[in-house]
Amino acid sequence: MEKKKVIEELKQKFAEKIKEVSAQFGDEILLIERDSLLDIVQFLKDKPYSYSMLLDLTCVDYKGQEPRFEMVYHLYSIPNVQRLRIKVSLSEKDLRIDSLASLWKNANWLEREVFDMFGVDFKGHPDLRRIFMYDGFEGYPLRKDYPLRKRQPRIPLRK
Amino acid sequence: MIGNFVTTRFNYILGWARKYSLFHYPYITACCGMEYMSTAASHFDWDRFGTGWTRFSPRQSDMLVVCGTISHKSAPVLRTVYDQMTEPKWVMAFGTCAVSGGIYDNYAVVQGCDRIIPVDVYIPGCPPRPETVLDGLIKLQEKIQKQEQEWRWKKRK
């Protein structure tokens, strides 16, 4: 019931910014415009809806489609015991999105991971460095066009 | 003649001494570490085979137990640890990841630690059971006993 109310209010408040509403596995999915991400997320984080917990933040590569990339945010409301999924489509030519690091501390490292694995540029991120791969690693390993057997060793291998 | 006899006997005794006093350095990066612990602890107790002393300094150890997945990021560390060990030294590849990379055939993982350092004994299993580890240890001891030993005042041909 509460969930319906959130969707209704979002639709009124950010009418043209919400492209699509669907549901899967019992959770609502919002597909929104890129430039309204910070506003919508801030609205959801504040009371009364209190989606104050960022469960996960990741990226999906739909190679061959346009737009190619899709950011996925999982939010959780502790008082209402509800989850919400927010998706933003990103095209390969303009792979930039606002950072959520100012709202959630854990977004900092999650965004660094997405930057390292997919090459998404987060605007307003305080410290956008790689987090998993080593210096000198070329390419983005979780993109679908990264060669499956490509290795980039740091020291010469035997044999 | 008598010199040769003394040399071969000394070689044998040295091999016997070395195979029963393998100080080991555990290089543990993954879940195989649990199997290593159960093999080393009292239930299976590989101290029975003379492998009792775990040295956490590579300079004091004879056997490097490579236990778990080796990523390309940590490969220079493993190479450094191996280079720091003093001769004679042996390497045990413990578990499928250390043997061949295992299920991780991807951008991040070295396909077997023998791509970085020479390996003496391979122990398969994901993770290997302690019995398998003990079997591999006995195989390594046989290898040490049979091999040509090195010592400081040995005459070179």
* CATH value at residue B135: 3.40.50.12280
Candidates B66, B72, B116: best to mutate against A (most CBs of A within 10 A) is: B72
pTM: 0.85
User: Which residue matches tokens 């917990």?
Assistant: A53
Residue B30 vs residues A67, B26, B101: alpha-carbon distances, Å:
38, 12, 12
Let me know if residue B135 belongs to a domain. Answer: yes
Q: Could you give the domains of chain A?
A: 2-95 (3.30.460.80)
Let me know if residue B31 belongs to a domain. Answer: yes
| Chain B partners within 8 Å of A154 (Cβ) | 72-73, 75-76
Structure tokens given for A102: 């100012």
Let me know if residue B17 belongs to a domain. Answer: no
Instruction: Verify whether the Cβ–Cβ distance A141 to B107 is below 8 Å.
Output: yes
For A125-141, what is the mean pLDDT?
A: 91
Nearest CA-CA distance, residue B101 and chain A, Å: 13
Number of inter-chain CB pairs under 8 A, A vs B = 38
Instruction: Verify whether the Cβ–Cβ distance B115 to A148 is below 8 Å.
Output: no
Q: Which of B88, B106, B85, B89 is nearest to B97 (CA)?
A: B106
* pLDDT of A101 above 70: yes
pLDDT at A5: 83
User: Which residue matches tokens 């100012």?
Assistant: A102
Let me know if residue B128 belongs to a domain. Answer: yes
d(CA B119, CA B98): 10
Task: For residue A42, give the H/E element and its range.
Answer: helix A37-45
d(CA B64, CA B78): 10
pLDDT of A23-69, one tens digit each?
A: 888 888 999 999 989 999 999 998 888 899 999 999 999 999 889 99
Let me know if residue B157 belongs to a domain. Answer: no
pLDDT at A103: 92
pLDDT at A17: 85
Given a contact cutoff of 8 angstroms between Cβ atoms, the answer to whether A80 and A49 are in contact is: yes
Burial of B146: CB neighbours in 10 Å, binned 0-12, 13-18, 19+: exposed
Alpha helix stretches (DSSP H) within chain B: 2-19, 32-40, 75-84, 96-100, 130-146
Let me know if residue B28 belongs to a domain. Answer: yes
Q: Please state which of the ranges A9-23, A46-60, A125-139, B87-101 shows the lowest mean pLDDT.
A: A9-23
pLDDT at B141: 94
